[in-house]
């Protein structure tokens, strides 16, 4: 177009349509980012450490909202930052919170002197593991304030607090609440 000429209605309509689509695409990305950052995040389970509760390949939703209003509690299944590998997320069950004492005796888990009823382990024994280098764990173990003790339900195949020690509660990214895929595994956790 030369000087003094105006865009045709057709070119203005196309430009508005492109801007409209760009706005909607940006809005969708912003909403997805907001939901995953502050509300709920999907995870695919890569290992068998939570079998038979959660199987390899299951997809779970981990919600973040409840921890805005309450602390992590014993029995919660949580997603958290791997204490050994940056950028990796793990999923385990909370066995004890800060101030509680964990002991492993004859394949059973005791918290504050009481044996836990753990049907989700399917009778697999809970034995101590050799801790990772630099971590010292002796039983009974009192969980420091602000930390939690986590264990996988598959006690014979789980690198958990028996291996890397208690974890900082601040590393928890959410509470696993539902398996949403595959269809034959759908269920509330």
> Would you call 64 a catalytic residue per the annotation?
no
Alpha carbons 174 and 80: distance in angstroms, whole number: 7
Q: Which of 187, 35, 162 is nearest to 93 (CA)?
A: 162
Token pair, residue 28, equals 């969708």
- The DSSP result for 103-128, as a single string, is EEETTEEEETTEE---GGGTT-----
Q: Could you say which of 11, 20, 47, 49 is catalytic? A: 49
Q: Could you say which of 62, 64, 92, 166 is catalytic? A: 92
Alpha carbons 157 and 124: distance in angstroms, whole number: 10
> Would you call 92 a catalytic residue per the annotation?
yes
Alpha carbons 50 and 141: distance in angstroms, whole number: 22
Catalytically annotated residues: 49, 92
């Amino acid at each position: 177009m030369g000087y003094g000429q105006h865009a045709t209605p057709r070119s203005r309509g196309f430009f508005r349509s492109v801007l409209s689509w760009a706005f909607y695409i940006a809005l969708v990305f912003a909403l997805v980012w907001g939901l995953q950052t502050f509300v709920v995040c999907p995870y695919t389970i890569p290992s068998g450490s939570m079998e038979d509760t959660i199987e390899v390949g299951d997809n779970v939703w981990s919600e973040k909202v409840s921890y805005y209003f309450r602390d992590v509690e014993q029995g919660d299944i949580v997603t958290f930052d791997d204490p050994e590998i940056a950028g990796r997320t793990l999923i385990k069950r909370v066995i004890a919170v800060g101030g509680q004492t964990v002991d492993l005796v004859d394949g059973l888990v005791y918290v504050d002197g009481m044996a836990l009823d753990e049907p989700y382990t399917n009778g697999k024994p809970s034995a101590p593991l050799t801790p990772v280098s630099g971590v010292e764990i002796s039983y009974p173990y009192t969980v420091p304030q602000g930390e939690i003790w986590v264990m996988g339900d598959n006690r014979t195949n789980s690198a958990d607090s028996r291996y890397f020690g208690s974890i900082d509660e601040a590393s928890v990214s959410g509470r696993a609440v539902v398996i949403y895929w595959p269809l034959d595994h759908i269920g509330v956790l």
